[in-house]
């Protein structure tokens, strides 16, 4: 019985995570993510799957980030009928995030057709619709961490803590063949030790025969996440003394909640005098509600804080805003305050209004807490470009800019060595994915240095038989 592993997405690149396990009774997908990046490049890749969706037996989903889950509605729209196995928190996050992704796909197509398509023959269709996202919701099946799930004949999957985002998991697959067990570990995205709220990644990880590992920051070292609380409090205090406001563009999942938790902690500990703090983003508010519903994912420190304070995310101290009118009212105020808003790379959403209204005042501070891709407004802020174009007009950047790198939710070189190094010697095969060239090579080197002799960097379409 030949079992093959095929690499489709996130092979030689970061986004579009999807790997196929070809089993005798049908293919099973490890993740089904959206390619993100330049429009034409991503569009072409997102419109092909390399597999017939109706043939897919099941999906094992590591976590809710769109580059791992965002193509599931496309799969459903093309006759995939499930199941999709994921942790309970991942299922809840996906319901919100896939609906949001569908909305973006539809708005994008509408915008393109209105502005760019000279005649109807050039019209584009959205990759999928809200109805496709809703149909996908029904296919999710919740799997608790640590429980062995039979997902195909003689095959089980166990979801282990990945410590990356709420609900994130590494997936351990065990295949029984001829009286022996073949073990494969798919890391999904690996998190870090000491990230706020979340439990650390599982360690030691179980010994396996085959490993598929992410490589995002295999060539980097991050600042410690626990140092970020002090840094953000210092910036807020300095800005308040100057009479200014703090504007923080932040991703809806993870970064926003980590900030709310740190600020709530800092106020409870007397490190920060209460001041108006706003989380202004409907998606962030919905995601924070999901965080509140899943304390089973918290680490001991967050659980203790929750028991003492009755809440982790500072409701009462932090104002969560969904209403557009309330959001607009923030623009009329100029008193010292903190505004956390999306999008994380300043490409769309309410953050644009807050930046437009605040970057021209030198008393204010813009704090960058996440990765800013090239050609985004966020990157131009990091580069302290003197004038920024927002909604077609130029605004001078006079506000102070602070960049905090310690909030990253991805394992760095030290974390990857600590987590995966102990597995290296016993591996029959290892595959580095989810990285650009330099990162993939660095990941292979980490494994080689730890005693693995055959770490590979697969290309899209590559297939490997599992011995
Ligand atoms: Zn991720």
Tell me the whole-structure pTM to 2 decimals.
0.93
Compute, in angstroms, the gap from residue 189 CA to the centroid of ligand 1: 5
**What was the pLDDT predicted at 117?**
67
Compute, in angstroms, the gap from residue 80 CA to the centroid of ligand 1: 23
Domain layout of the chain by residue ranges: 3-220+409-466, 227-403
Contacts of 53 (CB under 8 A, 6+ apart): 75, 76, 78, 79, 80
Compute, in angstroms, the gap from residue 398 CA to the centroid of ligand 1: 33
Compute, in angstroms, the gap from residue 400 CA to the centroid of ligand 1: 30
Domains 3-220+409-466 and 227-403 share a fold: no
Compute, in angstroms, the gap from residue 242 CA to the centroid of ligand 1: 37
Compute, in angstroms, the gap from residue 63 CA to the centroid of ligand 1: 7
- How far is 314 from 257, CA to CA, in rounded Å? 10
What is the H or E stretch that residue 309 is in?
helix 300-309
Compute, in angstroms, the gap from residue 180 CA to the centroid of ligand 1: 33
Compute, in angstroms, the gap from residue 77 CA to the centroid of ligand 1: 24
Compute, in angstroms, the gap from residue 54 CA to the centroid of ligand 1: 26
Contacts of 181 (CB under 8 A, 6+ apart): 174, 175
Yes or no: say if 433 and 420 are a contact pair by the CB < 8 Å rule: no
DSSP character at residue 296: G
Compute, in angstroms, the gap from residue 264 CA to the centroid of ligand 1: 25
**What was the pLDDT predicted at 210?**
98
Compute, in angstroms, the gap from residue 434 CA to the centroid of ligand 1: 10
**Strand 155-161 vs strand 148-152: parallel, antiparallel, or unpaired?**
antiparallel
Compute, in angstroms, the gap from residue 326 CA to the centroid of ligand 1: 31
Compute, in angstroms, the gap from residue 300 CA to the centroid of ligand 1: 23
Strands of the sheet with 3-9, listed across from one edge: 140-142, 84-86, 58-60, 26-30, 18-23, 3-9, 463-466
**Mean pLDDT in runs of 10 for the chain (467 residues)?**
90 89 96 83 82 96 96 96 97 96 88 76 87 97 97 97 98 95 97 95 97 95 92 98 96 94 95 96 95 96 94 92 94 90 86 95 96 85 95 96 94 97 97 94 97 94 94
Compute, in angstroms, the gap from residue 62 CA to the centroid of ligand 1: 9
pLDDT digits (tens, 9 = 90+) for 302-313: 999 999 998 899
Compute, in angstroms, the gap from residue 97 CA to the centroid of ligand 1: 13
- How far is 85 from 396, CA to CA, in rounded Å? 49
Task: Give me Rg for the CA atoms of the chain.
Answer: 22
Compute, in angstroms, the gap from residue 17 CA to the centroid of ligand 1: 10
Compute, in angstroms, the gap from residue 34 CA to the centroid of ligand 1: 12
Yes or no: say if 282 and 393 are a contact pair by the CB < 8 Å rule: no
CATH of region 227-403: 3.40.50.10890
Compute, in angstroms, the gap from residue 195 CA to the centroid of ligand 1: 14
In this structure, the number of other CB atoms found within 10 A of the CB of residue 37 comes to 14
Compute, in angstroms, the gap from residue 380 CA to the centroid of ligand 1: 24
Compute, in angstroms, the gap from residue 182 CA to the centroid of ligand 1: 26
As a whole number of Å, the end-to-end CA separation of the chain is 10
Yes or no: say if 133 and 98 are a contact pair by the CB < 8 Å rule: yes
To the nearest 10 degrees (0 to 180), the angle between helices 255-268 and 300-309 is: 60
Compute, in angstroms, the gap from residue 76 CA to the centroid of ligand 1: 22
Compute, in angstroms, the gap from residue 190 CA to the centroid of ligand 1: 8
Q: What is residue 35's three-state secondary structure?
A: coil
Comparing C-alpha atoms, which of 301, 291, 46 is closest to residue 167? 291
Is the four-CA dihedral 212, 217, 220, 221 of positive or negative sign?
A: negative
Compute, in angstroms, the gap from residue 137 CA to the centroid of ligand 1: 20
**What was the pLDDT predicted at 156?**
98
Compute, in angstroms, the gap from residue 67 CA to the centroid of ligand 1: 7
Compute, in angstroms, the gap from residue 65 CA to the centroid of ligand 1: 5
pLDDT digits (tens, 9 = 90+) for 315-326: 889 999 999 999
- How far is 27 from 261, CA to CA, in rounded Å? 41
Compute, in angstroms, the gap from residue 375 CA to the centroid of ligand 1: 21
Compute, in angstroms, the gap from residue 248 CA to the centroid of ligand 1: 21
Residue 254's φ and ψ, nearest 5 degrees, are 100, -70
Compute, in angstroms, the gap from residue 71 CA to the centroid of ligand 1: 14
Compute, in angstroms, the gap from residue 164 CA to the centroid of ligand 1: 7
Q: Which CATH class is domain 3-220+409-466?
A: alpha beta
Contacts of 379 (CB under 8 A, 6+ apart): 345, 372, 373
Compute, in angstroms, the gap from residue 319 CA to the centroid of ligand 1: 27
Q: How far is CA 406 from CA 196, 220, 294, 410, 436, in A?
A: 11, 12, 24, 10, 21
Dihedral of CA atoms 98, 99, 103, 109 in degrees, nearest 10, equals: 50
Is the four-CA dihedral 137, 133, 57, 147 of positive or negative sign?
A: negative
Yes or no: say if 175 and 466 are a contact pair by the CB < 8 Å rule: yes
Q: What is residue 234's three-state secondary structure?
A: helix
pLDDT digits (tens, 9 = 90+) for 67-77: 999 999 999 99
Comparing C-alpha atoms, which of 145, 24, 50, 7 is closest to residue 429? 7
């Amino acid at each position: 019985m030949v079992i093959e592993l095929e690499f489709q997405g996130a092979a030689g690149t970061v986004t579009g995570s999807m790997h196929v396990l070809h089993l005798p009774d049908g293919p099973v997908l490890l993740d089904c993510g959206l390619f993100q990046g330049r429009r034409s490049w991503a569009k072409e890749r997102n419109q092909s799957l390399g597999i017939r969706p109706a043939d897919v037996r099941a999906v094992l989903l590591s976590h809710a980030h769109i580059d791992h889950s965002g193509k599931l509605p496309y799969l459903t729209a093309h006759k995939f009928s499930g199941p999709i196995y994921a942790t309970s928190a991942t299922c809840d996050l996906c319901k919100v995030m896939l609906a949001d992704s569908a909305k973006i796909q539809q708005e994008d197509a509408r915008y393109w057709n209105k502005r760019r398509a000279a005649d109807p023959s050039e019209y584009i269709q959205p990759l999928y619709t809200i109805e496709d996202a809703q149909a996908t919701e029904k296919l999710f099946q919740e799997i608790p961490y640590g429980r062995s799930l039979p997902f195909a004949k003689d095959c089980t999957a166990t979801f282990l803590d990945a410590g990356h985002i709420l609900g994130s998991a590494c997936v351990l697959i065990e295949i029984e063949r001829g009286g022996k067990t073949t073990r494969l570990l798919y890391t999904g995205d690996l998190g870090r030790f000491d990230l706020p709220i979340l439990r650390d990644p599982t360690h030691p990880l179980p010994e396996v025969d085959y490993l598929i590992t992410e490589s995002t920051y295999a060539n980097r070292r991050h600042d410690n996440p626990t140092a970020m609380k002090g840094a953000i409090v210092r910036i807020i205090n300095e800005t308040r003394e100057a009479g200014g406001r703090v504007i923080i563009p932040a991703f809806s999942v993870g970064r926003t909640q980590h900030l709310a938790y740190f600020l709530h902690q800092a106020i409870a500990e007397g490190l920060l005098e209460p001041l108006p703090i706003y989380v202004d983003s409907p998606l962030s508010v919905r995601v924070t509600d999901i965080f509140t519903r899943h304390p089973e994912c918290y680490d001991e420190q967050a659980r203790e804080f929750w028991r003492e304070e009755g809440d982790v995310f500072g409701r009462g101290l932090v104002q969560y805003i969904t209403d557009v009118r309330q959001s607009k009212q923030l623009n009329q105020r100029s008193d010292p305050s903190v505004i956390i808003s999306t999008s994380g790379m300043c490409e769309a959403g309410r953050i644009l209004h807050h930046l437009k209204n605040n970057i021209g005042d030198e008393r204010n501070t813009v704090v960058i807490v996440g990765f800013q891709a090239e050609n985004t407004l966020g990157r131009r802020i990091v580069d302290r470009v003197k004038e920024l174009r927002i909604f077609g007009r130029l605004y001078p950047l006079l506000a102070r800019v602070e960049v905090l790198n310690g909030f990253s939710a991805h394992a760095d070189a030290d974390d990857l060595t600590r987590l995966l190094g102990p597995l290296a010697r016993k591996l029959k095969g290892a595959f580095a994915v989810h990285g650009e060239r330099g990162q993939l090579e660095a990941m292979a080197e980490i494994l080689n240095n730890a005693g693995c002799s055959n770490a590979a960097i697969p290309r899209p379409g590559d297939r490997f038989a599992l011995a």
